[in-house]
């Protein structure tokens, strides 16, 4: 009989000899039984392959179960049953497949003849135990991993930027990275002083600071990639409670314990004082709420601000035109004509037939309407009134209660006087009950007058900055050359309006500005 060796090992280490010992047993059995042993190489071994993987999906054995190799062997031979599989379902499927193809399976320890009914029964019993053992081991590994996470221990993988894994007495933990933690502090300071997220990203890139993913690669001794810094990455770092020392998942969501308290793993980066760090963090979140992620813009000042009546955005385009004197006797003059056109008007399906709009006239109309609406208004800044989160105090007192409970219980059991500790324990319980009943106080923002008019601010912005501001403020203009359906029922609002209607011969438009107070505070924060 031609025997095909089945070699599998879940975890390979430097001192592993299991594959050689498995093959040696199979070779001895083949020699004693005068069987022919199919020659295989290490490529046919299944190393670092879990017993939960189906035999048909394994890189080594799987290729021998395909039709083009079935004629080269008669039976599979494994040193032990778990080298074939640790799944009862997969094992049963393999036996059915072998029987359908006229093949057999030989297990050496314990010796089983699976061509006989009693051999199949014993194999199924042993496989049930093997599957149970695998599931128990998996559950233990998961419980151990979850406990490490709950305790704030390092479990491998990504580490939040600004922190590094450190060896503890048992397992691993986290600590602020002396090289990168100061950079997080400077990122926060720059942002709170008004620097844009994109500018902070450029500063990090130009300073040669590796991106968060490259920091991990650097620690692991791997070559760095070209992953650059971006405004989005800076936002994620400043927005994550990880900079307070919290345990977060890959989405940046903080881990909470059974009582709903955020789990902290290390000292906060923003300040050695936890309360001060919390105030800085809340100030960052308040400003981030006003600083929506900008969308890249091109040279169109009104990109994503002006829209066609069909709903599609309008784009700015420049073309060359020739102007002739009225008498046609002078030299023609070439000039650049800039206009806005509907994005859908170029489609072959003819979705929109909107005509071009003169860019200068449209921009002048939108800018003029905006300045007419808010130009003489005073900008207001938003002053942060810090809030209060009691989770840190509750967590600290909770640890105190756990310690005192243990001290009091041991003291009472041994006859030691622990009256003082018992009194402290009761006070701690009362305090945690009081804090637990308090509602967290959210940080709030109050407007403060600046003395600067919106018109002066607007004139200080360049084209890209004006576009970003109008988009962030939700300003929108719907425009057309010939007709505007809304003009049939929209009248010019009087007084402090939030909408302007333009009804000229070759430009019809409805411009909306939204809330005046929000617009003025956004201008101050820009």
Q: Do 287 and 191 touch, CB atoms closer than 8 A?
A: yes
Residue 349 is predicted with a pLDDT of 54
- C-alpha distance across the termini of the chain, in Å: 81
52-66, 188-202, 241-255, 370-384: range with lowest mean pLDDT: 241-255
Distance of alpha carbon 431 from alpha carbon 423, whole angstroms:
12
DSSP bridge partners of 9: 47
* Cα–Cα distance, 327 to 332 (Å, whole number): 11
CA distances from 84 to 61, 62, 389 (A): 9, 11, 55
- Spatial distance between the Cα atoms of 503 and 209, rounded to a whole number of angstroms: 54
For residue 128, the model assigns a pLDDT of 61
- Residue-wise pLDDT tens digits, 76-85: 999 988 898 8
Q: What is the pLDDT of residue 524?
A: 65
DSSP state of 468: H
Strand duo 444-453 + 499-503: pairing: unpaired
Query: What is the torsional sign of CA 316, 320, 325, 327?
Result: negative
**From residue 270, how far is each of 355, 417, 510 by CA, in Å?**
55, 43, 47
Query: Across 261-275, 360-374, 495-509, which has the greatest mean pLDDT?
Result: 360-374
150 pLDDT more than 60: no
Confidence band for 166, pLDDT divided at 50, 70 and 90: confident
Q: What pLDDT is recorded for position 310?
A: 83
CA-wise closest residue to 383 among 286, 316, 292: 286
Backbone angles phi, psi at 264, to 5 degrees: -105, 140
Check whether 319 has a pLDDT greater than 50: yes
d(CA 86, CA 137): 12
Cross-strand bridge partners of residue 383: 446
Residue predicted with more confidence, 213 or 22: 22
Q: What is the mean pLDDT of the chain?
A: 78
| Range name among 37-46, 130-139, 182-191, 455-464 with the lowest pLDDT average | 130-139
Range in 317-321, 333-337, 347-351, 502-506 with the lowest mean pLDDT: 347-351
The predicted-structure confidence for 2-26, as pLDDT tens digits, reads as follows 999 999 998 877 677 889 999 999 9
> Which residues on neighbouring strands pair with residue 448, listed in sequence order?
381
Q: What are 241-265's pLDDT values in tens digits?
A: 888 888 776 666 776 665 456 777 7
**DSSP type of residue 345:** G
191 or 195, greater pLDDT:
191
Give the number of other CB atoms < 10 A from CB of residue 191.
21
Q: What is the pLDDT of residue 2?
A: 92
Ranges 182-186, 246-250, 293-297, 443-447, most confident: 182-186
- pLDDT for res 296: 45
Q: How confident is the model at residue 239 (pLDDT cuts 50, 70, 90)?
A: confident
Q: Read off the pLDDT of each residue in 336-348 and give the average, rounded to a whole number.
A: 73
| pLDDT per position as a tens digit, 108-137 | 887 776 666 767 677 666 656 555 555 555
- The secondary element (H helix, E strand) that includes residue 286 is helix 274-290
DSSP string, 137-203: HHHHHHHHHHHHHHTT---SS---TTEEEEE-SSSEEEEE-TTTHHHHHHHHHHHHTT--HHHHHHH
């Amino acid at each position: 009989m031609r025997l095909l060796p089945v070699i599998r090992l879940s975890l390979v280490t430097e001192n592993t000899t299991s594959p050689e010992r498995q093959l040696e047993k199979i070779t001895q059995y083949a020699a004693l039984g005068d069987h022919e042993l199919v020659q295989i190489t290490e490529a046919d071994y299944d190393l670092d392959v879990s017993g939960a993987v189906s035999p048909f999906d394994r890189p080594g054995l799987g290729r021998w179960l395909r039709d083009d190799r079935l004629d080269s062997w008669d039976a599979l031979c494994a040193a032990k049953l778990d080298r074939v599989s640790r799944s009862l379902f997969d094992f049963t499927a393999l036996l059915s497949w072998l029987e359908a193809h006229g093949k057999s399976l030989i297990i050496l320890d314990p010796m089983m003849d699976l061509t006989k009914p009693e051999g199949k029964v014993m194999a199924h019993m042993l496989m049930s135990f093997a599957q149970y053992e695998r599931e128990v081991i998996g559950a233990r590994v998961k419980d151990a991993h979850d406990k490490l996470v709950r305790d704030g221990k390092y479990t491998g993988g990504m580490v939040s930027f600004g922190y590094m894994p450190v060896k503890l007495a048992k397992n691993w933990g986290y600590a602020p990275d002396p090289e990168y933690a100061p950079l997080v502090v400077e990122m926060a300071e720059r942002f709170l002083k008004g620097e844009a997220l994109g500018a902070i990203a450029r500063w990090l890139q130009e300073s040669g600071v590796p991106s968060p993913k490259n920091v991990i690669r650097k620690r692991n001794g791997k070559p760095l990639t070209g992953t650059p810094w971006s405004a989005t990455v800076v936002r994620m770092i400043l927005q994550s409670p990880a900079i307070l020392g919290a345990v977060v998942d890959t989405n940046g969501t903080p881990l909470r314990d059974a009582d709903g308290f955020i789990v902290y793993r290390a000292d906060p980066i923003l300040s050695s004082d936890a309360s001060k760090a919390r105030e800085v963090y809340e100030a960052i979140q308040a400003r981030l709420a006003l600083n929506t992620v900008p969308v890249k813009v091109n040279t169109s000042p009104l990109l994503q601000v002006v829209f066609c009546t069909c709903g599609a955005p309008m784009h700015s385009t420049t073309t060359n035109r020739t102007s002739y004197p009225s008498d046609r006797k002078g030299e023609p003059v070439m000039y650049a004509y800039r206009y806005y056109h509907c994005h859908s008007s170029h489609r072959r399906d003819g979705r929109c037939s909107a005509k071009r709009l003169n860019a200068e006239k449209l921009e002048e109309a939108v800018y003029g309407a905006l300045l007419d609406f808010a130009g003489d208004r005073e900008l207001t800044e938003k002053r942060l009134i810090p809030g209060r989160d009691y989770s840190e105090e509750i967590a600290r007192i909770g640890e105190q209660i756990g310690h005192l409970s243990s001290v009091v219980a041991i003291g009472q059991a041994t006859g030691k006087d622990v009256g003082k500790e018992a009194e402290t324990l009761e006070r701690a319980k009362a305090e945690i009950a009081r804090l637990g009943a308090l509602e967290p106080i959210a940080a709030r923002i109050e407007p403060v007058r600046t003395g600067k008019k919106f018109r002066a601010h607007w004139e200080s912005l360049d084209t890209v900055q004006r576009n970003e501001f109008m988009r962030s403020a939700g300003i929108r203009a719907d425009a057309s050359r010939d007709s505007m359906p809304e003009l049939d029922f929209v009248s010019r609002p009087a007084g402090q309006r939030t909408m302007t209607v333009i009804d000229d011969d070759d430009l019809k438009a409805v411009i909306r500005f939204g809330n005046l107070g929000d617009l003025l505070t956004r201008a101050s924060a820009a």
